[in-house]
């Protein structure tokens, strides 16, 4: 019943044409920054920042003050660039910012909701400012509030909301006009683990509707869980970027080896192993277990034979896998081992 | 998320009301204001003290036609302008200061909304509320006067009605830009309301001090300037000591300068640098 009503109320005619006209066609969404500099007085927020952001869920990573929020605001045309260009969906952020903003949803990091109104009033009001007629705005507001999980609380003033509910209300206002590009600035900031879980799951669900979602965060686990691509910023500069699976894949030819045994046996084994392959890294775990990163031992049989000869147990041997925290730390160390 | 989580559905409709953003903001301001206790009290008091007495006099006292001098003494009394000033201070106080306090500019300007449209929408909402006290009641009084006149000179009466509407529109407009400007200076609406009132009061005090030396200084007082302007519009003349050029310049600058200031302040706020 609801679906059929929606079909009647919201015909598709014109939508595709309108999006093509504004440069936000299905395949055109991406952000391209070239040598962007933004400063606030003596503070340089972006310093020659160059990056390409493809479609999908993209993580914008960096420590506090790295320039993530500045980049988002500059992409929306809310900041004047000192130099460089940002192109969003083929539109220039400085000269065509209104056309960009017409197709973008933005969930700001800081508290920005109007406390005296309730969520329905706020979201429908902002939907109308996005160009929806009153009836559509009200229907769509309820739909997105259902989606983000704000139930009957939607009729309570926003000032009575918890942090998690405020974050959800911010997300609802950002998606009410169904933008093709969504900027989420620290979406899980201040939320408890369950709230974070819910919000990340909402983001994943939205991505299935072919949206490009840029998630700015310093919570690496969040980004690792939901993003397809990551851009790491520090001090206003691009540190590293790439597909998540590429970033998380370890260096080719490097394997992680965990062995267990007595201290003397382990020492003997490590010395023997050094004769046949290169030990890149070593982590001792409570004296009787060692995890080694080894290079040049493509033939695993040598590893097992030496273990048997030296009286230690091989607990695991697999290609190196990183987590985003390690990628992040290596990026900040200036490339990590051998530039990886 | 419940047993059956709700999936995200794209919106299949068209956004066709982009040109109505100004109207949406104005309507929101108007709705919010006419529910505000302070505004309701001022509207009721203003209507009782300023307009009802004139209305009763017109109905009770026999008159040949609507006289410009009657409307001039009614609208140029100072009480009318004083109530308009008080109402403007209350109505405009939170229009920008609240968005500043809540950092909610970003909700507006992350959408395709121009600073100009945002300000025009806020001002239009405030002007609508102001018109409930400053524009419609004087026109109503003039219409009642025409309807109850004993003579047949309606043309003159409608001429006065037109001038009355003009004065009402001017008083409606006069205080709003200044109130918006003060509202853009602070995050507290109480400061904005008191600031607006005290600014006009301060000008009136300055005018009162210098009036002793030169009566021409009277035009510095916003309330006196509006009273003199009302008399000028309705009766065609101003007191001899008033320089008409200075009067127009002061009234125009109290409208245009604050409007420009608030526009540029907001542009800086929104663009961020």
Q: For B111, which residue in chain A has the nearest alpha carbon?
A: A101
Domain that holds residue A312: 250-321
Rounded distance, CA B71 to CA B235, Å? 9
* Interface contacts A/B by beta carbons within 8 Å: 127
> Is the same domain home to A190 and A308?
no
- pLDDT, one tens digit per residue, over B219-258 is 999 999 999 999 999 998 888 888 999 999 999 999 999 9
> Is the same domain home to A81 and A187?
yes
The reply to whether B10 falls in a domain is: no
Residue A228 is classified by DSSP as: S
The reply to whether B136 falls in a domain is: yes
What CATH number did the domain enclosing A226 receive?
3.40.50.300
> Is the same domain home to A82 and A192?
yes
Whether the CB of B213 is below 8 Å from some CB of chain A: the reply is no
Whether the CB of A292 is below 8 Å from some CB of chain B: the reply is no
The total number of structural domains that make up chain B: 1
Measured between beta carbons, which residues in chain B are less than 8 angstroms from residue A6?
9, 12
Instruction: Look up residue A204 and give its two tokens.
Output: 């994943």
> Is the same domain home to A254 and A234?
no
Of B10, B98, B103, the CB nearest to A111: B103
The reply to whether B170 falls in a domain is: yes
Domain that holds residue B204: 20-271
> Is the same domain home to A242 and A272?
no
> Is the same domain home to A43 and A55?
yes
Q: What pLDDT was estimated at residue A333?
A: 67
The reply to whether A124 falls in a domain is: no
Mean pLDDT over A128-147 rounds to 95
Angle at B174 between CA B177 and CA B237, to 5 degrees: 155
Of B13, B20, B270, the CB nearest to A78: B270
Instruction: Look up residue A210 and give its two tokens.
Output: 């072919």
Scanning chain B, the segments in alpha helix (DSSP H) are 21-34, 37-46, 53-60, 68-75, 79-92, 97-102, 105-109, 115-134, 136-147, 154-174, 176-183, 189-211, 222-235, 244-271
> Is the same domain home to A57 and A85?
yes
- pLDDT, one tens digit per residue, over A232-251 is 998 999 988 888 888 887 77
> Is the same domain home to A81 and A186?
yes
pLDDT at residue A113 greater than cutoff 90: yes
Q: Residue B139: CB partners within 8 Å, gap ≥ 6?
A: B161, B164, B165, B168
Confidence of residue B272 (pLDDT cuts 50, 70, 90): low
ipTM over 0.85: yes
- pTM for the model stands at 0.82
Residue B75: strand, helix, or coil? helix
What CATH number did the domain enclosing A276 receive?
3.30.70.1710
Whether the CB of A78 is below 8 Å from some CB of chain B: the reply is yes
**Which string of DSSP letters, residue by residue, matches A34-50?**
EEEEEEETTEEEEEEEE
Smallest CA–CA distance, residue B269 to chain A, in Å, is 9
Measured between beta carbons, which residues in chain B are less than 8 angstroms from residue A124?
none
Of A12, A106, A201, the CB nearest to B110: A106
> Is the same domain home to A197 and A305?
no
The reply to whether B8 falls in a domain is: no
Residue B135: strand, helix, or coil? coil
Chain B residues 73-112 with CB within 8 Å of chain A: 98-99, 102-104, 106-112
The total number of structural domains that make up chain A: 2
- pLDDT, one tens digit per residue, over B128-150 is 999 999 999 999 999 999 999 98
Q: What pLDDT was estimated at residue B271?
A: 64
**Burial of A44 per CB tally in 10 Å (0-12, 13-18, 19+):** middle
The reply to whether B225 falls in a domain is: yes
- pLDDT, one tens digit per residue, over A292-337 is 888 887 777 888 999 999 999 999 888 877 777 777 777 776 544 4
Q: What pLDDT was estimated at residue A218?
A: 83
Chain B residues 20-79 with CB within 8 Å of chain A: 20-21, 24-25, 28
- pLDDT, one tens digit per residue, over A45-92 is 999 999 999 989 999 998 888 999 899 999 999 899 999 999 998 999
Of A15, A113, A147, the CB nearest to B12: A15
Smallest CA–CA distance, residue A147 to chain B, in Å, is 5
A129, A139, A196, best to mutate vs chain B, most B CBs in 10 Å:
A129
The reply to whether B227 falls in a domain is: yes
């Amino acid at each position: 019943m609801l679906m059929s009503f929606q079909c009647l109320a919201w015909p598709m005619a014109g939508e595709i044409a309108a999006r093509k006209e504004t440069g936000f066609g299905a395949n055109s969404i991406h952000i391209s920054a070239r040598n962007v500099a933004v400063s606030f007085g003596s503070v340089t927020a972006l310093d020659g920042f160059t990056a390409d952001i493809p479609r999908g869920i993209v993580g914008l990573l960096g420590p506090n003050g790295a320039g993530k929020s500045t980049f988002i605001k500059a992409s929306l045309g809310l900041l004047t660039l000192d130099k460089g260009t940002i192109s969003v969906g083929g539109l220039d952020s400085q000269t065509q910012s209104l056309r960009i903003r017409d197709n973008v949803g933005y969930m700001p990091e800081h508290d920005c909701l109007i406390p005296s109104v309730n969520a329905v009033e706020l979201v429908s009001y902002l939907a109308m400012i996005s160009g929806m007629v009153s009836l559509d705005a009200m229907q769509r507001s309820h739909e997105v509030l259902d989606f983000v999980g704000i139930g009957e609380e939607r009729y309570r003033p926003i000032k009575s909301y918890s942090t998690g509910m405020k974050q959800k209300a911010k997300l609802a206002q950002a998606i009410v006009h169904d933008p093709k590009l969504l900027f989420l600035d620290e979406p899980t900031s201040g939320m408890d683990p369950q709230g974070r879980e819910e919000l990340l799951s909402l983001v994943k669900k939205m991505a299935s509707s072919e949206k490009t979602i840029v998630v700015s965060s310093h919570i690496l686990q969040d980004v690792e869980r939901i993003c397809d691509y990551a851009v790491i910023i520090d001090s206003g500069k691009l540190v590293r970027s790439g597909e998540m699976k590429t970033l998380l894949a370890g260096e080719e030819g490097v394997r992680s080896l965990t062995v267990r045994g007595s201290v003397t046996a382990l020492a003997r084994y490590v010395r023997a192993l050094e004769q046949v392959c290169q030990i890149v890294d070593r982590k001792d775990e409570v004296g009787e277990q060692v995890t080694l990163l080894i290079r040049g031992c493509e033939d695993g049989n040598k590893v097992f034979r030496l273990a048997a000869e030296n009286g230690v147990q091989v607990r695991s041997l697999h290609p190196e896998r990183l987590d985003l925290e390690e990628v992040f730390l290596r990026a900040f160390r200036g490339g990590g081992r051998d530039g990886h | 998320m419940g047993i059956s989580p709700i999936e995200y559905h794209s919106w299949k409709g068209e956004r066709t009301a982009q040109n109505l953003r100004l109207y949406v903001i104005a309507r929101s301001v108007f709705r919010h204001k006419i529910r505000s206790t302070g505004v309701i009290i001022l509207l009721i008091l203003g209507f009782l003290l300023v307009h009802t007495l004139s209305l009763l006099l017109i109905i009770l006292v026999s008159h040949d036609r609507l006289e410009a001098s009657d409307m001039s003494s009614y609208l140029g009394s100072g009480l009318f302008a004083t109530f308009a000033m008080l109402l403007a201070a209350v109505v405009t106080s939170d229009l920008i200061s609240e968005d500043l306090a809540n950092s909610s500019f970003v909700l507006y300007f992350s959408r395709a909304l121009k600073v100009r449209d945002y300000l025009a929408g806020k001002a239009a909402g405030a002007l609508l509320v102001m018109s409930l006290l400053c524009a419609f009641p004087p026109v109503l009084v003039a219409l009642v006067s025409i309807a109850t006149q004993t003579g047949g000179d309606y043309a003159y009466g409608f001429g006065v009605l037109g001038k009355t509407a003009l004065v009402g529109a001017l008083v409606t407009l006069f205080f709003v830009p200044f109130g918006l400007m003060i509202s853009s200076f602070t995050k507290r609406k109480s400061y904005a309301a008191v600031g607006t009132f005290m600014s006009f009061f301060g000008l009136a005090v300055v005018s009162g001090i210098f009036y002793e030396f030169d009566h021409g200084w009277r035009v510095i007082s916003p309330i006196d300037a509006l009273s003199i302007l009302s008399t000028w519009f309705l009766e065609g003349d101003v007191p001899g000591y008033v320089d008409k050029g200075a009067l127009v310049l002061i009234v125009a600058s109290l409208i245009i300068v604050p409007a420009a200031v608030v526009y540029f302040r907001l542009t800086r706020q929104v663009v961020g640098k």
